[in-house]
């Protein structure tokens, strides 16, 4: 499968943001992959909605409903990942410095 040229994505983003953007080749490949995965998920969800209503033709409302379901699912997944990120300890230098300070305070308390 041929990946579209970087200019295609630059024109699309420029149309949305009204700003000139440069996209690298690897970023274009990632954008294309995400687009394909999104379209596949959207098609599957729209098919599921149509089949659940015993219809053989997709209508606009099926696609809109599928987009809302996909959007809600991605927002939920994003919220879960943010919650998980907040629960896990960070590996930042300030956090390790804080840990070292509390360890030294414990040692001082034990030596007294």
Quick one: pLDDT band at residue 88, thresholds 50, 70, 90? low
Residue 24 maps to a domain: yes
Q: Give the CATH number for residue 60.
A: 1.10.20.10
pTM of the model: 0.49
Residues 6+ apart with CB under 8 A from 28: 3, 4, 5, 6, 8, 9
Q: Is the pLDDT of residue 98 over 70?
A: no
Residue 1 maps to a domain: no
Residue 76 maps to a domain: yes
Domain hosting 95: range is 6-111
Lowest mean pLDDT across 3-7, 82-86, 99-103: 99-103
Average pLDDT in the 10-31 region?
Answer: 86
CA 107, CA 112: separation in Å to the nearest integer?
9
Percentage, residues of the chain above pLDDT 90: 0
Residue 80 maps to a domain: yes
Domain tally, the chain? 1
Tens digits of residue pLDDT in 42-61: 888 888 888 888 877 778 88
Residue 55 maps to a domain: yes
Average pLDDT in the 105-111 region?
Answer: 56
């Amino acid at each position: 499968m041929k990946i579209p040229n970087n200019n295609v994505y630059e024109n699309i983003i420029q149309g949305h943001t009204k700003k000139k953007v440069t996209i690298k080749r690897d970023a274009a490949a990632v954008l294309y992959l995400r687009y394909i995965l999104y379209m596949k998920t959207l098609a599957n969800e729209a098919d599921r909605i149509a089949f659940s209503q015993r219809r053989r033709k997709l209508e606009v409302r099926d696609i809109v409903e599928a987009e809302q379901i996909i959007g809600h699912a991605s927002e939920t997944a994003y919220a879960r990942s943010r919650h998980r990120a907040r629960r896990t300890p960070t590996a930042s230098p300030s956090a390790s410095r804080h840990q070292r300070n509390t360890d030294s305070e414990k040692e001082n308390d034990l030596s007294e």
